[in-house]
Structure 1
Amino acid sequence: MSLDLNPEFQRNLWLHLGWQRTMSAAIVGLTIAYAIFLVSDFNKVSYAANLILTMVLGMWGPRRAADALAEEVAGGTWESQRMSGLSAWSMAWGKLIGGCSFVWYCGFLALIVYVFAGFRLGFPPGRAGNFWLGIYLVLIGACLSHAVALGVALIRLRKTVQYRRLTITLAQTCGFVVFLAVSGVGTAPVLNESSFTPGTAFVYDSAYSWPLVRAVLGSIFVLWAVAAVFRLMRSELQYRAWPWLWTLFMGFCATLAAGIAPWPGGGMVGAALPVFAAMIILTYLAALADRRDPIHYRSGLLAMRRGDFSRALAELPWWLIGIVATLLAATFALTAVAGIGSDDWPSSLSALLLRLRLLTFDHLSETLVLVLFFMARDLGVLLWLSFGTWRSRSDVTWLVYLALVYWPIGIIMLFAGYGDYITVVLPVAGDDVVWSFAPILIQLVVLGVLLRQRWYQATRGGVVA
């Protein structure tokens, strides 16, 4: 895969990098920087350049990355592009880089001003602990945010029944959040605070500077994000794609969750519980990103019945892979918890979990099993919504359902003195095993009946030969 000057990339360059725009941006940017210097000093110039970098690369960049696709959809040219001879890779990087070309041009103008101000200030360490590391965090955060925004836009496109309009606010928001997480704007890169000491992260019990860890992880996640955009573009262009990339990504995230912690010496438990939590989160995200089309699922089941395992594997939902990974992680967590007492827990981990009331040491194994049952219920509710008339609103409805069940209702019950009945809405096992498991099992049985009925209605009789 090479970065050849394909027509999509050239078209975006012609649209966004005309000489009028480039000259205007340079003149306006340098004029603003010089005006700030005249009324203040290089500290203010540095601060202004940092603010412009954040706004241009972190806020405007993700919007432009998503808009590179949304403009095609709104203009009615996306279908003709899909029928063109461009490969998925050319289409992906042509939109990702070409669509954001003017953003990067403006960002590099601000970066030049910032580096010049840093040179006059003696390259202050800033709040990343190192001047150049802070710059790298901003740049790698921008790359990741743009790729994430385009990926989210492609996911939204897969779930849009009609192509007439593609909202990009969600994609921009996801990209901006990722930019903040990686670049640490506000906690890095450029304020001149010589007394600031970067935080410490422990990677398999070895201490490293947290900004350095963010830089390494951000670089790796950029590769994953670009691969995800390429894979989603292939899917949009009707290529058959097997779920190996998603499976590898879940394994990568499990490795990170097991090895990175804010405290050392977590041991087997300190590795098992974060892996379990990470697999649940990824499963929820995969279910939310999936089209959840019952006809599509029926096609995969029919392919499996015919023995066409290649097609069945290509049709396999990502959330199903997440469920398998979560069950493996749960087995790992239960094994780790079974051989440890409350006195052997890392003190930091114990304090955090107890303060959040996420679990009790007396019934930790039961709580982990309850979490699996609650996850099955939540995914069942999402499928039930998706198989009915609320399909177009199923994502938002499900998120509202999760927010109501897991936050206000549980908190109200705790403060109202009904903590003994908390297992109705939260997976926290108590002394009574029957009462801990009965509510969720009843919910699963009722939901299973309703889901089966919806499935037969949506597929007109289920899977038939």
Structure 2
Amino acid sequence: MSIDINPEFQRNLWLHLGWQRMMAACIVGFTIGYAIFLVSDFDKVSYAANLLLTIILGMWGPRRAADALAEEVAGGTWEMQRMSGLSAWSMTWGKLVGGCSFVWYCGLLALGAYIFAGWKLGFPEGRAGNFWLGIYLLLVGAVLGHVVALGVALIRLRKTVQYRRLTITLAQTCGFIVFLAISGGGTAPVLDEASFAPTEAYVFDQGYAWPMVRAVLGSVLVLWAIVAVFRLMRAELQFRAWPWLWTLFIGFTALLAAGIAPWPGGGAIGAALPVFAAMVLLTYLAALADRRDPIRYRSGLLSLRRGDFSRAAAELPWWLISLVATFMALAFAISAIGPSLDGWPTSLSALLLRLRLLSFSHLTETLILIILFMCRDIGVLMWLSFGAWRARSDITWLVYLALVYWPISIILIFAGYSQFITLILPVASDDLFWSFAPILVQLAILGAMLHQRWRQATRSGVLVPELAP
């Protein structure tokens, strides 16, 4: 009986998992480990194995995951693959598992050395508080980092068909950050095992060790990330992408933001502010990741006009869904805000006051300003995307955000012009007119500019042109 093997997976195994490479990795790894043992002890072997695991699975792995796609684009074979009979799921796990097969082989060799050294040392607890939990965190973080890297590469591919090294570097960086956030150095030993205890997190006011929370959260996020990469691959293969899963993910993120906190007893306000911040962040990320094609937006508007709600939903920008969720989070936050600091978590209020991030006397106005400033920033991104700078709109927008929200604000504050800070920062003051007037004027000017750019991009005289007969 023959077994059908995914051709993409088989091709990647042939390319990356030859017996010469496997033998060389085994010999080199054993030689390095034995040399470290001879000049020191099993403690140093454990440290070295942990460092190798971080380099191999955390840094090299995400790069290989993104390269599995970038090499196809650079070699000119990606279009041929898109026209092949492979399904989106076959291409997804074929590239993800097959492209990283040699990485996992080397990582498992290092993991074997780490477990052997841990056995000789009596299985030290490490930073995770449990030897085996630390290994699980490492593996989950590695899988999530690889999937995220491939997802970022697919997002970049939607914006340009040219091979760019930035795609690989950006994807690798995102994957490595995710790896560190989930693994948390879980396999790394600590200097004083007896006095070390992992910090606690509070999930709906119930205290749990942070490593355990990261393990559960990382496992769930792996499933979400795999689904996301599969959906991105389907979109790349010209399948229609529905927004329902993104809407569910927004709800999932809101639940996490409301339920997980580093302090107990946050109450409604302790849940409202993290949810609002998470929705703002998702809106920015969705706008940056979106393929901001004015023709696509126009097609969605025309579909909505003629009552084709199925196609209109498929063309719906995901950042618009996040924006609606942000408005809902704003309403939740305003309803939870009281007139005083009563009911606020002490640690949260102290942190905000120390950093001067919010004025409690004008917190509601500040949250509304954040929404308005976010609308301005997304409007600027759309204006850049609808013009001649479309190919460089992402990096131009990021530079704009960096300049506006950091050096210019610092210059105004330390140069003695803090009364003009509402021009660039959403911080409400006692004078509500001066707080809201600058951003409303900016939105009005930007709206006119964006409408003009839209007309030029769609070659139409009205926002939603009439259908041709």
Normalising by structure 2, we get a TM-score of 0.96
Query: Does structure 2 retain, via aligned residues, the 8 Å contact 1:148–1:225?
Result: yes
Query: Does structure 2 retain, via aligned residues, the 8 Å contact 1:203–1:259?
Result: yes
* Residue of structure 2 in register with 1:410 after alignment: 409
Give the Å deviation of 1:285. 0.2
Query: Does structure 1 retain, via aligned residues, the 8 Å contact 2:8–2:90?
Result: yes
Query: Does structure 2 retain, via aligned residues, the 8 Å contact 1:156–1:166?
Result: no
Is 123-132 or 433-442 further displaced after alignment?
Answer: 123-132
**In 2, distance between residues paired with 1:97 and 1:370?**
45
* Residue of structure 2 in register with 1:359 after alignment: 358
Give the Å deviation of 1:4. 6.6
Task: Name the aligned partner's letter for residue 83 of structure 1.
Answer: M
Deviations 1:121-151 (A, max 9, x none): 0111111111111111110000000000000
* Residue of structure 1 in register with 2:313 after alignment: 313
* Residue of structure 2 in register with 1:296 after alignment: 296
Give the Å deviation of 1:302. 1.1
Distance 1:271 1:93, change over 3 A: same
Distance 1:100 1:4, change over 3 A: farther
Query: Does structure 2 retain, via aligned residues, the 8 Å contact 1:410–1:425?
Result: yes
Query: Does structure 2 retain, via aligned residues, the 8 Å contact 1:158–1:291?
Result: yes
| 1:24-423 superposed matches below 5 A | 24-162=24-162, 167-185=167-185, 189-191=188-190, 193-194=192-193, 195-337=195-337, 339-423=338-422
Task: Name the aligned partner's letter for residue 406 of structure 2.
Answer: W
Query: Does structure 1 retain, via aligned residues, the 8 Å contact 2:73–2:162?
Result: no
Give the Å deviation of 1:412. 2.1
Task: Name the aligned partner's letter for residue 422 of structure 1.
Answer: I
Give the Å deviation of 1:409. 1.5
Task: Name the aligned partner's letter for residue 77 of structure 2.
Answer: T
Give the Å deviation of 1:463. 3.1
Query: Does structure 2 retain, via aligned residues, the 8 Å contact 1:49–1:113?
Result: yes
Give the Å deviation of 1:165. 7.4
**In 1, distance between residues paired with 2:282 and 2:430?**
31
* Residue of structure 1 in register with 2:456 after alignment: 457
Distance 1:23 1:192, change over 3 A: farther
Give the Å deviation of 1:163. 5.8
**In 1, distance between residues paired with 2:282 and 2:405?**
18
Q: Count the aligned residue pairs.
A: 461
Normalising by structure 1, we get a TM-score of 0.97
Give the Å deviation of 1:113. 0.4
Question: Any gaps of 5 or more consecutive residues in structure 1?
Answer: none
Give the Å deviation of 1:329. 0.4
Deviations 1:253-275 (A, max 9, x none): 00000011110011000000000
Query: Does structure 2 retain, via aligned residues, the 8 Å contact 1:124–1:192?
Result: no
**In 2, distance between residues paired with 1:313 and 1:273?**
30
Give the Å deviation of 1:419. 2.4
**In 2, distance between residues paired with 1:64 and 1:25?**
17
Task: Name the aligned partner's letter for residue 326 of structure 1.
Answer: T
Distance 1:191 1:13, change over 3 A: farther
Task: Name the aligned partner's letter for residue 108 of structure 1.
Answer: L
Query: Does structure 2 retain, via aligned residues, the 8 Å contact 1:300–1:311?
Result: yes
**In 1, distance between residues paired with 2:113 and 2:300?**
55
